[in-house]
Structure formats: C-alpha cells, structure tokens
Structure 1
Amino acid sequence: MKAPTTRNARSMADKAPILIVSHTFPPYRGIGGRRWVKFAKALARRGHAVHVIHSAGGGDLLGSLWTDDLSTPGIHVHPLPQRYPTVLFKRPLATVLEKVMYRFWSFALPLFTKGNWFDKTIFWERPFLRLAGTLIQEHGIRNVLITGAPFRLLYYGTLLKRSHPIRLVSDLRDTWTWQDGYGGGLLGLARKAFEKELERKVMEESDHIVSPHPAVVDHLRHAYPSATGRIALLGHAIDPDELGPPRPAHSPKLLRLIYAGSMYGASEADAYFNELLKGFAALREKYPESFAVCRSDLYITGHGTARYREQVERAGLSDRILFHEPLPAKEIFPRIAAADAVILFIPSGNKDVLGTKFTEIFYLGRPVIHVGAPGSISAYITSNGLGVTLPVEELANALPELMSGARQVHTNTAYDPRAHLLDHIAEGMERTLLLPPTV
C-alpha cells in the first residue's frame, strides 16, 4: 500500500482512528467486501487511519473487483487466517474430493459447535479478540465498526467492548435470525435459539446498529423496541470514481440488455433463466427484426456458468445471449451505461433487500427490468419511476414487448441520487456514528 502523503499524515492526527471488521474484504472476492472497502476509502480520504481486520482466505478466493481501493493512503489491513473449511461455501464443488470433504465437514462441525455451524467465523473468537485488542491499544482506537454476515462477528464485538472503552457499531448487511439465509434454514430449534440469544446481546450492547436495508431496520425496531433509538439506516454508497457521469436517456427499444452480478436462489435462478430463454425465443418468433439486432451480455460473478451456457446453446441463442468474465467496477460500469436496460433477477428471499447494485444503476440512469417477487425492491422501483418490475412467470411474455418497444418503460429523469454518494454518506458516519479524537 502507498505511504500517506505529508498532508494526509498530518490530517490523520486530527481524525480518530477506526477499526473496521469485515470477514470478506479485498483482495478476496465477494460482494460483502465492497460495502466496507468503499467506506474505508472515504474515511481514509477524510483523514482517518483506517485499520481493517478481514479473513485471509486461500489463493483460490482471490479476485475482488475492488482491490484497487486498497491503494488509498491510510488503509491498513490485518488479515486473520480463515480457519473455516472453504469447501463448505465454495460453489460449484468441482472434484470428488471436494464433495467428500463437504460431507465430512457437514457431519463433523455440528458435533463441536453451537448455533449456526455455517458461520465462517465460529473459530475466530480468540484470535480476533487478541488481534483487535492489540490494534485498539497500539493505535488508540475508540471506534469499531463490525459488519455481518458472518453474524458471529457481531457478537465478538460485544465481547471486545466489555474489555475495551470503544464505541461499537454493528452493521447487518442481511437478515439474521428471522429468515433462513446463511444456513439458518437447516438449523434445529436449539441452534436457532442460540443464534437468537447472540442477536439479542448484539442489540443490547452495541452503541449503534445499522443496515443498508429499510426492511432490516424496520424488523429490528419492532423486535427490539428498547433499541429503536440506536438503530438506523446506513445505505450502500455510490462511488463516482468508478461510475463516471450519468448517461443520457435510454432508447425506447430495450434491445441491449446487461446482467452483472451473482445468480442467487438456486431453483429460483434456474426458473428465471428458463423464462429468459423463452422470452428471447418469443422475441425471435414475434419480432424478428428486433431479434436480429438484440443482445444480452451476462457478467455472472461467484458462480459457474457452464450449465447456463449449455442451455443457451441448446436454445440456439449463443449469438444473442453472451457470457463474459466478471470485470472490475471501472470496466463494467461503462458497459452498463451503454446498455438500454439492466435486467436484475432477485430471489424471493431477497425481495426486501435493496443491494448495492440498485443505487449504482439508478445513478447511471439505466432503466431496470426487475424480475422477482413483490417487496421493498419492487415498491422502490415503481414509486421512483426507475423501471419495470415483473414476477418470474411473466418475464417470457413481457420481454419481447419491452425489447421490441411495443411496451415502453418511462423512467423518472428527476431522480436525485446525491444522498447515496460515498462522500455524503461518509460525512454522515462521522457526524452520527463515530467518536471524535481524544484531545
């Protein structure tokens, strides 16, 4: 990493040092690291020394699309050994050995762990507390911001707070005990009760609890009314450094589609992809002129695409639906901006989770074709005039009409994304979440 400039080093003496804890963090891939490397970048630019504890995953987990942000002067990373079997969260399992080891660990881990044994930080308690305590003492850190999932990290934060005079900010990027993600659906009653008790302690002992999702904030305020005043929305940030300026109005014909992101939801994702293929087949039949010049570019991250490629080939659509390797943000966003629309499939479990990608796409001014169940996402898109929202079962019929221009999408050109800009959010974090430096 670059050494701080003289000016930056001088300003860091005037700003309180910060400790961020994010299990996934560049250079290791995963969308979970994007949120907090952006905040780290913005806070470091504002003069804070930002220390980050993250997982030192194996070499096969490298490849974050946001590694360039680590070059920001003032960010100091402190990786901890992963200590959790990669095979339990790697997809796809490519070899017989991987499949055998998956079964072994699925049998063994529940024998000597409490709560959710799918939590990647179940073996981190002692090494984390030791490293975090050392950093707090050596650098005079009073502000500690921890993000989950993995949610066990948030509980470790309460243990840290009991032995150090810190302000603890707990960030829930997703739902914890009240839905079945991150292995929660496979837990018995006793394990669920254990996780619920951890959640209660986090809610009671954190100085601030934040989430990027209004639905998570609403749930926590209802479930923990005594903590209502400490629960707040901390949205995902738009980083103009990688997006460039917003683009002009889109074409009435949505002939160039793009999909950039993960394919969550297993069977739901398969159903969506089948409907997508049916939609292109219907476009070929009903609007051949539009079909002749249409295309859909897929930049699928975090998952193998071989099965989807085979389906496209069997449908005779290989020249219209094209697969690409994932790209860094600065390279993918010009491609998004050049598309006529962005198609986004969201599984039902995430229907209320307004992820990072939405604010970025809204900033670029591209209409969204949201495919998924009604929820907070569909309501936000509809109320702000940002695109169209469709259930999966309607995609095949609606897609030809949208791509041909027979059905047009009218977007709100007055939508103002400034509240989502990175520096604006970082300034708010300083004002409402962080303790000032000691005199």
Structure 2
Amino acid sequence: MKILLISYYFPPYNTVGAVRPGKLAKYLHRQGHTVHVISSHEPPFVKGLPLEIPEVQVHEARGWSVNAPIQWLLGGRKKVAREGYMQSGSRSGWLQRIGAWYKTLLHWPDAEIGWVGSATALGREVLASTDFDLIYVTSPSFSALRVGHNLAAGTGIPWVAEFRDLWSDNHSYSHPAWRLYLDRMWEKNLLKSASALVTISSPFAETLKRFGKPVWEIRNGFDPDDLIDDIPIMETARDTLEIVYTGSVYPEHHDLASFCAGLASFRTQGGKARVNVVGRNVAPLLEAAKTWKVDDWMVFQPTVARRQAISMQRSADVLLLFLWSDGNSGIYTTKLFEYAGAGRPILAIGPHRCDVGAWIEDANIGAVVSDAQGIANNLLAWQKSKALTGRLETTPTPGHDFTRDTQFAKLETALETLLAAVRKQ
C-alpha cells in the first residue's frame, strides 16, 4: 500500500501524541508499505522521540499559531512549553475564564487551526508526486481531520479517520452548549466522506458508530523494540520504594488527594519512598503533596527524552497511574501499555468498576485502589517484597497482549480489505 499519513504530532518531537503515529509509520514501513507523513514544523516540544522511518518521507508543514498573542504575553511559545509542566492550576478565576473563552472563540477545532492551510497545500504536493492508495489521518489534533477531508475531496483518494481521543464526545469536553452543537455538526460533515473510522477501545468504538461508518478498534500498545538491553536499569536503595509517574495530571478527574493521603499514611507506618514525576501540567500534584506534607518525597522534572523515560519506568519499583475518577470507560492511554511493557507493578488510583481497572487486575500487573489506607497497604506490601527480593516485577497473565504489533497487524488487514473493496467498485 502507498499511504499518506496526516498527523500534527510526529517524531522526533517528544510528546505523547507523536508516539502512536510514529510507531504506526514504523510498522507499515517495516511491512513493506510506502508511508509518507505530513506533520508540523517545529511544534513547541523538545526533540527526543526516535524517527523510525526514512527522514525523506516526513514532510513538515509550517503554520501560524492562534495562541501567539497569549504566548507572547507569557514570554514566548518555547518558554510556555518548557515551563508549562510546573504552572499552577490555581490561577485566578477571571484568568481561567478568559482562557476558556479564548479557546472557545478561536480554537476551531483546536489550537492547531493555523496549520491546516499549509498542511493541505503540502499534502497536495506530496500526493501529486506518486500514486497513493489511501490517506490515513490520526487525531488529535482534530485539525488534522480537516486536512485529510480536504485532500480526499480534491483527489478522490479514500481516507480513514483515527480517533486516539474523541472529539465532540470527549470525556473532558469543556466548551459551552452552543459550541458543542457546532462541533458536532462540523465533525459529522467532515466524517461523511471518510471510508472508515479507527479508535483505541471498544467503548469509544460504540460511540463512533453513530456516524454510520465501519469502526475498527485498534488499541494502543508498547513496542518491544524499545525494551532493548542497552536501556539502563538503575539500581535503587533497598529500603526505598521508587515510584514513577510519567505524563500530565488532571485534577478535576484524577484523585490526587487520595494518593498523597495514602503516601502520608505509608510514611507514618515506617514506609520510605521517592516519587519521580515527569511531564507537563503536574503542578496540581505538587500542591496536593504539600497539603499532605509529602512534597519532600517528590522530584519533578519536565518531559524527558523517550529513552530516559523508558529507563525510568524500568528502573522503578512502582508505576503510578491515575484512572478517571468518574469511572469513564474506554480511556486506554499509551501510558498503561508502556507500564505493562516495563514489567513493574502498577498502582492505579481510581474506581474498580472502570474497564481499565478491571483490565489491570485481570492481567495481574498491579493493584487498583481508591482510598488512602488501601494505597498505604499496597505500598507497605511492595516495600516488604522489595526488601526480600531487591526488585519488583510483573508478567501479564496469559491471554493479555500489550504489544503494538498485534494491534497494527489487525489495522493492516483492515486497510488492505478496504482498498480491495474500493478497487472493485
């Protein structure tokens, strides 16, 4: 197959939104398919993800930033991206309201609106260079869906829309009702021309069926190639639990207080831990830690290179995961699969009733707890085990496959079947 992949986020820029598109391109290229990519030019992220297809096949489109006025006021785009990991979530109410209205009025459909025109123009140039079979769009950014729709409309090439997160049905959608109505109409009109939809979980797939298109569930996963022997695994103190969290926190959905309260209880019972937090927008976790007086156990740093993040996960004793506190189903994050690949027990904070929590317990790769005492009890048990063995390890029970290749093989077959049907028409 000859595929044009549209993804605003793509390696080498180090953000979680670039991981799956990069791994998909790698898989397809390795299978002998031709993959060219339209991505963004110098987004506000540090480089650190490996580019695993030939560089000549990646085409970066420049764009303008709808957030430029705000970024200028805050010291510049790169400064905002660099320091965002520790920005406080407790800004004054009027600043929060201004920010929300700014996004509602100017993000159509999101902050990457200024990339759509240049990406569409560049996509037309690439499509004119050879005969492509398919346009594959992965979102978010949802602006990428506009690019795919535009290119398909101008060429007649079939296109497939992938939703790593949902758009108007998103669990954290925050715009007012009038904007939701417009987003729903816009999304429906864009997807009318799509040949199929892809998403990462069965609950999300059920939601997307309302568009009347074939929907394929292709889950996230980890790449065993990332777990090569030369990734360093650091030795840790035998009397201290090394807890690692990678990613952002969402205080309105993550139960930060219970985790910090449990950590405090663990401390009063003789426990000892260090919590390494890596990512952007993690200030609320520091604030909760200060409330429970465990902030001296916390070490914060911004996004690190992919290799270093994997090393930290594999060197950890416990991997911290926050589940959606309202029990929303279908949120199968990349982090969950990376943690499973790291082979360390997962401490999942949230409700047992959600599908992700049940999955973790069924696979025997961690514990799901929702109260401070339960958190403390699990940490005490793991500390005791570490003192005896020196290293905590987990292996998924048979029948649980967390690798990307298994999922991408399903997608490859679906795409080939789709194109075979198109050619018969």
- For this structure pair, what is the TM-score category when the shorter chain's length is used for normalisation? 0.7 to 0.9
Of 350, 373, 379, which residue of structure 2 is paired with 1:403?
379
Q: Provide, for residues 379-423 of structure 1, a one-character-per-residue CA deviation record: whole Å limited to 9, x for no partner.
A: 2223333322122xx0x21122112219999966533555x4334
Give SS of 1:136's match.
helix
Amino acid at match of 1:236: N
Distance 1:92 1:398 in 2: 29
Deviation (angstroms), 1:263: 2.9
Structure 1 partner of 2:36: 51
Of 216, 220, 223, which residue of structure 1 is paired with 2:208?
220
Query: Where do 1:315-354 residues align within 5 Å?
Result: 315=293, 318=296, 320-348=297-325, 351-354=329-332
Distance 1:309 1:427 in 2: 43
Deviation (angstroms), 1:296: 3.0
2:47 aligned with 1:69: no
Query: Where do 1:13-412 residues align within 5 Å?
Result: 16-58=1-43, 61-66=44-49, 68-70=50-52, 72=54, 75-85=57-67, 87=70, 91=84, 117=108, 119-179=110-170, 181=172, 184-189=173-178, 191-221=179-209, 223-224=210-211, 226-227=212-213, 230-244=214-228, 256-269=241-254, 271-272=255-256, 274-286=257-269, 288=270, 291=271, 294-303=272-281, 305=283, 308=286, 311-312=289-290, 315=293, 318=296, 320-348=297-325, 351-373=329-351, 374-391=353-370, 394=371, 396-405=372-381
Distance 1:108 1:17 in 2: 40
Structure 2 partner of 1:4: none
Q: Provide, for residues 15-41 of structure 1, a one-character-per-residue CA deviation record: whole Å limited to 9, x for no partner.
A: x33211111223333211111011112
Tell me if the contact between 1:177 and 1:195 (Cα under 8 Å) persists in the aligned partners.
Answer: yes
Deviation (angstroms), 1:102: 9.1
Tell me if the contact between 1:254 and 1:403 (Cα under 8 Å) persists in the aligned partners.
Answer: no
Deviation (angstroms), 1:73: 6.0
Amino acid at match of 2:111: K
Compared CA separation, residues 298 and 178, structure 1 to 2 (3 A): same
Deviation (angstroms), 1:110: 5.8
Distance 2:197 2:320 in 1: 32
Give SS of 1:433's match.
helix
Deviation (angstroms), 1:101: 10
Deviation (angstroms), 1:210: 0.3
Tell me if the contact between 2:218 and 2:410 (Cα under 8 Å) persists in the aligned partners.
Answer: no
Tell me if the contact between 1:17 and 1:48 (Cα under 8 Å) persists in the aligned partners.
Answer: yes
Deviation (angstroms), 1:137: 1.2
Give SS of 2:165's match.
coil
* Consecutive unaligned residues in structure 1, runs of 5 or more: 1-15, 247-252
Amino acid at match of 2:281: H
Deviation (angstroms), 1:171: 0.4
Tell me if the contact between 1:42 and 1:423 (Cα under 8 Å) persists in the aligned partners.
Answer: yes
Q: TM-score, normalised by structure 1?
A: 0.75
Compared CA separation, residues 133 and 277, structure 1 to 2 (3 A): same
Give SS of 1:259's match.
strand
Q: What is the total number of aligned residue pairs between the two structures?
A: 391
Structure 2 partner of 1:414: 397
Deviation (angstroms), 1:378: 1.3
Give SS of 2:250's match.
coil
Compared CA separation, residues 146 and 382, structure 1 to 2 (3 A): same
Of 391, 394, 414, which residue of structure 2 is paired with 1:432?
414
Distance 1:108 1:306 in 2: 23
* Consecutive unaligned residues in structure 2, runs of 5 or more: 72-79, 232-237, 386-391
Deviation (angstroms), 1:42: 2.0
Amino acid at match of 2:62: L
Amino acid at match of 1:422: R
Once the two structures are overlaid, the 10-residue window that deviates more, 142-151 or 401-410, is 401-410
Distance 2:96 2:279 in 1: 22
Q: Provide, for residues 109-139 of structure 1, a one-character-per-residue CA deviation record: whole Å limited to 9, x for no partner.
A: 766x6xx546123344433322212211113
Q: TM-score, normalised by structure 2?
A: 0.78
Give SS of 1:264's match.
coil
Distance 1:400 1:306 in 2: 21
Compared CA separation, residues 84 and 44, structure 1 to 2 (3 A): farther
Give SS of 1:150's match.
coil
Give SS of 1:44's match.
helix
Tell me if the contact between 1:27 and 1:64 (Cα under 8 Å) persists in the aligned partners.
Answer: yes
Tell me if the contact between 2:85 and 2:283 (Cα under 8 Å) persists in the aligned partners.
Answer: no
Compared CA separation, residues 260 and 79, structure 1 to 2 (3 A): farther
Amino acid at match of 2:124: G
Structure 2 partner of 1:8: none
Distance 2:186 2:334 in 1: 27
Tell me if the contact between 2:61 and 2:119 (Cα under 8 Å) persists in the aligned partners.
Answer: no
Distance 1:105 1:265 in 2: 17
Amino acid at match of 1:157: G
Compared CA separation, residues 102 and 310, structure 1 to 2 (3 A): closer
Distance 2:239 2:198 in 1: 37
Deviation (angstroms), 1:70: 4.7
Tell me if the contact between 1:236 and 1:356 (Cα under 8 Å) persists in the aligned partners.
Answer: yes
